[in-house]
Every structure is written in C-alpha cells, then in structure tokens.
Chains A and B, each alone.
Chain A
Amino acid sequence: MANRLLEVEGLAKHFRGGGNWLSSGGDSIRAVDGVSFSVEEGETFALVGESGCGKTTVAKMILLLERPTRGAISFQGKDVSSFRGGSLREYKRLVQAVFQDPYSSLNPRMQVLDIIGEPLRVHQGMRGRDLRMRVGELLENVGLNPVTASFFPHQFSGGQRQRIAIARALALRPRLIVLDEPVSGLDVSIRAQILNLLVDLQRELGLSYLLISHDLAIVEHMSHRVGVMYVGKMVELATRDEFYGNTLHPYSNALLASVPQPDPDVPMGTTIGGEVASPINPPSGCRFHTRCPIYLETNMCREVEPEWREILSEHLTACHKVEPAVV
C-alpha cells in the first residue's frame, strides 16, 4: 500500500438546529455520523452519495472550515487538530480546494493575477516579477494564456473560471486537493476537458485528490477508490474496479442502477423509491432499511446498526445481509 496521506477516523459533525441564546433550539442534525477512510499518496479517493448525505460537510471539516464534533483527521500521520502556528500554515499550504461553483469561487473584483497570486502572497510573500512569472506559468499549466492575468473573472466562461480555480489550488504545490463537485456547475461539453486536465495534473505532480461527487460516471473515470455515504454514514468502501464490478451494499447497487446508460436497448435499471432519510432523526438500526430492496421483516435490520466490516480484501461495507468472505 502506498503512503497514507490523509486519514479520517470516526469523523462526526452534529449541527444544533435553529437555537440561539434565547431558545435551546430543536434536535441536532447529524450531518456526518462516524465516517472513516483514508487518502493515499497519488490516488483519487471518491466520496459519493445523494445530496444531503454529508459528503460536503466531510470536505469542510478536512479543510478546517467546520470543527468536527467527534473523530480525528490526521495528515501525514499527525493529528490535524493539534496543528498550530507553523504546522497549521504548512497544512494550509499542502491542502487546497476546488469548489463546485466557479462563479462564486472567484472574487469578481480581483484580476486573475491577484486571484491566483493570493496563496503565493500569503505563504511566500511573493510579489512583482516573481509573482507574475509564477502566475503566468500556472495559467499555462491549466491551458490558459498568460495574457489573461489582467482580466477579471466575468470575462471568462465557466470552464475557464474553473481552470483559474484549479491554477489557484496548484499555486503552492499542494499534496492534496479537495475537489467538491468540480464539474457539476459546468456544461456537459466541457466537463471532460476539466476532468482530463485534473487527471493529467495528478500524473505530472503526484497529487492526491479527494473527489466529492454524485456523478458515478465521473467517479469511475477518475478515482482509484470509492466510498459511498448514506445519511451521514459510510456504507461501502472499495477499490474502483471492485466497486463497479462487485458491489455489495444494496444502496450502492441502487445508485449504480440509477445511472442512465447511453444505449436505448439497455433497460433503465430499477431505481429506489422514497426519500433520503432525514439526518435530524435518522432511522434506527440500518439507516437504509426504510428504502432497502432486500430488507426483510427481521428485527435485525430495523434495530441493530450493522457493523462496518471488511468483506473482501480492501472492500468494506455495513450491511447485515452481506457475509464476509475473508476471515
């Protein structure tokens, strides 16, 4: 196994609902409730799930935008919550992000030079000619003309804006980039360009990606390992080939079946009914039992929370109906 870059252990985030100092507020929202996974050097780990399953909250905790309620994040073997001063700066240098909406992620009042130059100024105090050189280089790396450094964001298309956001994330030569739905906000026609750019950059620079997406086609194209989340919990984790070839959890099966095939003769797979369960009051036992197609009227699924077990080598899932093959 390659070197472990990032490890997340039992991570949880509970939001208190609508309270302030006058009223105690409602029930807490358990957006993330005990999630564990790791990202190795040079790999892409994909986190998939329906909207509201807590995958973006996981990303925010890794990026230190939210404080975890429980659990630990460690980076290169060190606990992230213990980082102060210099080590915190180093973490913020090595971990960068690209967000979904390229319109909201670039300050409309800054020239591209200042947008891409911000991390370089903050961390390396770079300015003048050095800064312009480096920004020009970064723009070329993401396939934009260095002349555009004097432009403002509104002068670019969505795809070009996302390239600028990627250039900014690359500026400090990070180890890990969190990609939160990096192409969902783009036209289908340019998604492939951006994805290929990301794959090329990973190969050239040895980057690790934490890819957050609900699009299973993109995940199959880009990732090495896949984790599936449902209502704040991880339900399955496997290598890409295992996941797409030998899915174990009924929720993962349902997700895969709901991907439309570009062939009119292939019948549409069975989709699961019902709504995503609410994280305010998650179902008892297995959280998926309210929608599960293989759920039987045993009390097991309804009352006992399934264990997170390794079923095959490097293939984990949490389901009562799946029996381990390796012991």
Chain B
Amino acid sequence: MANTSMQIVSPTTLWAVRVRSVLGGLRRAPKIPSLVLLVFMIFAAFGQWIAPYSPVAVDMAASFSPPVWHEEGSADHLLGTDKLGRDILSRLIRGARVSLSLSLFVIGLGGGVGVVLGLISGYSGGKVDAVMQRGIEVILAMPTILVALVFVFAVGRSFESVILILSPFLAARFARIVRGETLSVRERDFVAIAKVIGTPTWMILLKHILPNVFNTIIVLATLEVGHLILLESSLSFLGVGVPPPQPAWGLMVADGREFLTSAYWITLFPGLCILAAVLSLNLFGDWLRDTLDPRRRQL
C-alpha cells in the first residue's frame, strides 16, 4: 500500500463505463423499428399539428374515396376516406395517441402493480405466495372481454374505464411470470449472501432480484403492447372500447370490416399501423434486453 491514490477508485471511470455502454448500445439500436416508433411517438405527441384534417370532420360528399394511387383517388385524401368521408391519414395520425397511450397506461399501471406483486409473492413464498397465486388464478380464469363488457356498461364507456378494466388482467399476467423468475433468482447465492450481510428485504428485491428479472419484464411488456392494441380493437368492435368518434386504430379496423371487399383501405392502413407498431416494439424490446444485460455488452 505504497501509493494511497492508487486505492481510490475513480468515479469518472465508473461513470465512463456506464455511459460508454449506453452509447455503444444506442449505436446498435435496430434502425427501422426505432424509426417507426419515433414516427408514431411524434404522431402521438404532435398529431393535431401534423394531421391535414380533423379526425372527426365528416364530409359525406367525399365518403369512400380511395387512396391517391387509385384512378378515382385524389390528392386531397392521400389514404382515402371512410364511410363518413373522414380522412384516413388524419385519423391514423391522431389515433396513434389513443392506441399508444392506452397501451402505455395499462402497461404502466397494470404491469407496475403486477411486477411488485410478483416480486413479493415469489420472494416471500409460503402462505403469502399461495394466497396471492390463488387470487391471480381467479383473475386469469375470467374471460377478459366478458368482464370488460359488464364493467364498461356499469361505469360508462370512456378511455379511463378501458384502462381500469384491462390493468388487472395485465397485472395478473405480469405477477405470474415475475413470480416464477423471482423463485429462481432468490435461490442464487448472491441473495443468500445479501441476507447474511443483513441487507434489508426491500433492498434485496430492488437491487438483486428486480435487475435480474428485468429481461423478462421488458420482453413481456413489448409483447403485451401488441396484445393490448388488439384487445382495444376487440373491445371497440363490441362497442365498449374507446368511445367514437375518437380515432383509435382498433376502432378503425372494426369500422372498416363491413366494407372490406369494396373499400379495403379503411381496414388495411390501421391494420398495417398495428402490425408495424407491434413488430417494432418486439424488435426494440429484444435490443433493449440485450443492452441492459452486462454480459451481452461489448465494452
């Protein structure tokens, strides 16, 4: 111990390692999915200034006008109009906000609660775990759509009620999977050592268990966004989703279904948006999982 300055671990190195790994990870981010998600996020945030028309402006004279590349199409409505003559492009742009924010709220609320419950259930084990798991099984056994129908009829159709009824179902799915992962992580030696040290339980959950189940949470969240967009469209189709005339992608697909043979564009473009969003989120999630795992990083 001749040189005491040698013993000081430099804080800049510690941060440099973290920052470098984040930058390195960003450089490897998947380009097309990132771009797609960025565009959708811009639509969601600034849609009212980007969309050429109001999403609810009815123009019966222009109903069912096809996209611009058809002979009858016009440059006024690039992606055509629906049966009330509303501009599809404008509705897609404005619909991004409804579809994405609905998914984000449900993931944030339901997923957050589910992760916390799953961690507690898996880590404590015993009676606490048994009781919580039976509760989760009850929720998972209920038919989502049917329960949503009853709930929405009871409290009224709104954006908030859709979030409220979908969140518990998502929480149950998250809790179940996070619990399983927690069961395996809590048996690892570093958790035993933390107990020997006397680390408080909340800190063990936060610092040791949560980071090691994070991969699963990310993958699950990206998969569930797709699932939620589809659920929202099912609910809209049954008339209990986001209330019209608010544009939501699922609702638009449902609207156009009866004109599928004569005016495919009403269904096709929102469908493509759902496809692009779900696919991009999955690819993006894969990248995020790899980036957050120190073993997969190349420093």
Q: A residues engaging B (CB < 8 A)?
A: 21, 63-65, 88-89, 92-93, 95-97, 99-101, 104-111, 113-114, 118-119, 122-123, 129, 132-133, 135-137, 139-140, 146-147, 149-152, 154-155, 165, 168, 172
Contacts and interface: CB of A to CB of B under 8 A. Distances in A.
Given A95-B196, A152-B294, A136 B14 contact: no
A93 B198 CA distance: 8
A118 B6 CA distance: 21
A109 B188 contact: no
A132 B9 contact: yes
Given A110-B211, A154-B295, 13 more contacts: A64-B195, A92-B197, A92-B198, A99-B189, A106-B190, A109-B211, A114-B207, A129-B8, A132-B10, A136-B6, A147-B9, A154-B294, A165-B193
B111 to A, nearest CB: 20
Nearest to A21: B130
26 contacts: A21-B130, A64-B195, A65-B195, A88-B198, A95-B196, A105-B193, A108-B295, A113-B14, A118-B197, A118-B207, A119-B198, A122-B203, A123-B198, A129-B11, A133-B9, A136-B7, A137-B7, A140-B1, A140-B7, A146-B9, A150-B13, A150-B16, A150-B17, A154-B294, A155-B299, A172-B197
A137 B194 CA distance: 21
B60 to A, nearest CB: 59
A63 B9 contact: no
Interface of B: 1, 6-11, 13-14, 16-17, 130, 188-190, 192-200, 203, 207-208, 211-212, 293-295, 299
Given A140-B7, A147-B9, A149-B9, A65 B192 contact: yes
A83 to B, nearest CB: 11
Contacts of B7: 133, 136-137, 140, 146
Contacts of B199: 118, 122
B208 A107 contact: yes
Nearest to A105: B189
Contacts of A96: 196-197
A150 B42 CA distance: 37
B198 A65 contact: no
A129 B11 CA distance: 8
Contacts of B194: 118
A147 B294 CA distance: 18
B215 to A, nearest CB: 10
A108 B14 contact: no
A135 B9 contact: yes
A157 to B, nearest CB: 15
B230 to A, nearest CB: 33
Given A113-B9, A136-B6, A101 B189 contact: yes
A88 B197 CA distance: 11
A136 B9 contact: yes
